[in-house]
């Protein structure tokens, strides 16, 4: 589980896609296999104290617990989706004036814009980086914006397949792109494909597989968004934004944890943007027509996708 599902391990190892998917689908069984012997060992340690020393027992359980936490628990709390309109997973939107004063880069914040029927919402890259999945807000409550900082990609989808709603949450990365999962079925969903893994496993090609409805998005600075759609809302990450997240004295554990995660995420994105090699050594595709870190704009039209480099534009 640690090898295939933890971000920490994927900085070093390169688990194949088939292994990652098999591990994800077997994670409940693997959790029992991991935690069962630890619990049994604790009982034996209490009943038969001479079995091993306390330092040895604590070292074994501590190391195993750390690996288990990194793979089975940490991904779900460090990337807490904001894909609902209300509740604990509800997305938070602020006015343009508030966003301009709250966000570090102000008017120069780079944003992904979702517009549906004339109603628009801005998603600053820095704010949607950790949730990865955010509700459509005023643009459309039944739409979510999915975002991957590694591939600099934001795609808006209607989270529904086969007439059934999807409850999308971040899962992991494969080849430096976001993989989500549907909390209703626990089936993985690749951001690029916009469909579930089991649909792709039919090997009938993406053009013949049912995909979530995709919505166009734009890229511009926050300042230009304010000029183009005055009065529209801006998404902010409530568990990273100063003034919204708990203060140290209110919740010291969450304060320190989220601060560390924000630093790790921002550092990783800086590395991704300034180094030739990707953050994770899992990128199998090799195409030398343009540099691998070249920024491109992609226009999908009737199944034909065209990429335009930023330099060309």
Say yes or no: 51 and 131 in one domain.
no
**Last residue of a domain, which of 209, 236, 263?**
236
CA-CA distance, 83 to 224, in Å (whole number)? Answer: 25
240: left (phi over 0), alpha (psi -120 to 50) or beta: alpha
Nearest CA to 208 among 186, 193, 189? 193
Q: Which two tokens stand for residue 282?
A: 């899992």
Say yes or no: 177 and 199 in one domain.
yes
CA-CA distance, 212 to 158, in Å (whole number)? Answer: 6
Decide: 150 and 279 in contact? Cβ < 8 Å. Answer: yes
Per-residue confidence of the chain (313 residues) as pLDDT tens digits?
999 998 888 888 878 888 999 999 999 999 999 999 999 999 998 999 888 899 999 999 999 999 999 999 999 999 999 999 888 889 999 999 999 999 999 999 999 999 998 899 999 999 999 999 999 998 888 999 999 999 899 999 999 998 999 999 999 988 888 999 999 999 999 999 999 998 888 766 667 888 999 999 999 999 999 999 999 999 999 999 988 898 998 999 999 999 999 999 999 888 888 888 888 877 777 788 888 888 888 887 777 888 899 889 8
Q: Is residue 260 included in any domain, yes or no?
A: no
pLDDT tens-digit series, residues 89-123:
899 999 999 999 999 999 999 999 999 988 999 99
Say yes or no: 173 and 99 in one domain.
yes
Say yes or no: 9 and 38 in one domain.
yes
Say yes or no: 19 and 153 in one domain.
no
Q: Is residue 268 included in any domain, yes or no?
A: no
pLDDT tens-digit series, residues 250-289:
999 999 999 999 999 999 888 888 888 888 877 777 788 8
Q: Domain containing 40: what range?
A: 2-78
Nearest CA to 198 among 55, 10, 24? 24
> What is the value of pTM for the model shown?
0.90
């Amino acid at each position: 589980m640690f090898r295939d599902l933890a971000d920490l391990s994927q900085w070093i190892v390169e688990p194949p896609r088939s292994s990652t998917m098999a591990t994800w689908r077997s994670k409940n069984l693997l959790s029992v296999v991991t935690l069962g012997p630890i619990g049994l060992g604790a009982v034996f340690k209490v009943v038969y104290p001479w079995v091993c020393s306390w330092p040895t027992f604590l070292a074994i359980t501590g190391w195993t617990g750390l690996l288990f936490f990194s793979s089975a628990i940490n991904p779900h709390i460090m990337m807490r989706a904001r894909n609902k309109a209300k509740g604990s997973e509800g997305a938070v939107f602020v006015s343009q004036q508030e966003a301009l004063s709250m966000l570090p880069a102000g008017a120069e914040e780079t944003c992904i814009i979702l517009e549906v029927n004339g109603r628009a919402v801005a998603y600053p890259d820095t704010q949607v980086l950790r949730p990865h999945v955010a509700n459509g807000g005023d643009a459309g409550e039944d739409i979510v914006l999915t975002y991957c900082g590694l591939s600099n990609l934001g795609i808006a989808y209607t989270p529904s397949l086969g007439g059934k709603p999807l409850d999308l949450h971040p899962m992991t990365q494969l080849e430096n792109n976001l993989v989500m999962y549907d909390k209703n079925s626990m089936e993985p969903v690749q951001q690029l494909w916009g469909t579930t893994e089991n649909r792709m496993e039919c090997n009938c090609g993406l053009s013949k597989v049912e995909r979530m409805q995709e919505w166009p998005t734009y890229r511009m600075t926050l300042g230009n968004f304010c000029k183009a759609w005055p009065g529209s809302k801006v998404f902010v990450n409530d568990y990273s934004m100063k003034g919204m997240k708990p203060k140290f004295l209110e919740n010291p554990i969450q304060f320190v944890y989220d601060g560390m995660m924000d630093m790790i995420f921002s550092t990783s994105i800086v590395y991704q943007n300034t180094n030739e090699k990707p953050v994770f050594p899992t990128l199998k595709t090799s195409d030398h027509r343009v540099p691998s870190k070249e920024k491109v704009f992609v226009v999908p039209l009737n199944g034909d996708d065209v990429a335009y480099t930023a330099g060309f534009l």
